[in-house]
Amino acid sequence: QVQLVESGGGLVQPGGSLTLSCAASGTIISRNVMNWFRQAPGKQRELIATITSGGGTNYADPVKGRFTISRDNAKNTVYLQMNSLKPEDTAVYYCRTLIILTSYWGRGTQVTVSS
């Protein structure tokens, strides 16, 4: 059974940094495409970062240059380093992987950017 568990969210001031973690079990993340999504109140869930099995990365324009997705294969964990945070980054952040056309999601972690 595939499980994804996010952690690392919290309250941070504008301009601050956070690192989110997504610990996986039941699958080997280095073999999968791993994504980070976020959903702000009243908005649709949006894809913000991707890391492929080959290690390639891709980012949505709103976070490009500020966020970095990475993985630790030994820990079977994916990370999202978030710098220069803005109030508009406030959202629930979700980790996802797609395996044989089935999406697996974590429960999310709340990030609030506010002074």
Distance of CA 24 to the CA centre of its chain: 12
| Per-residue confidence (pLDDT) for residue 110, from 0 to 100 | 98
For 1-115, list the strands marked E by DSSP: 3-7, 10-12, 18-25, 34-39, 46-51, 57-59, 67-72, 77-82, 91-99, 102-105, 109-113
- To 5 degrees, how large is the angle CA 91–CA 105–CA 55? 90
pLDDT at 101 over 90: no
Indicate the pLDDT class of residue 6, thresholds 50, 70 and 90.
Answer: very high
| Per-residue confidence (pLDDT) for residue 100, from 0 to 100 | 87
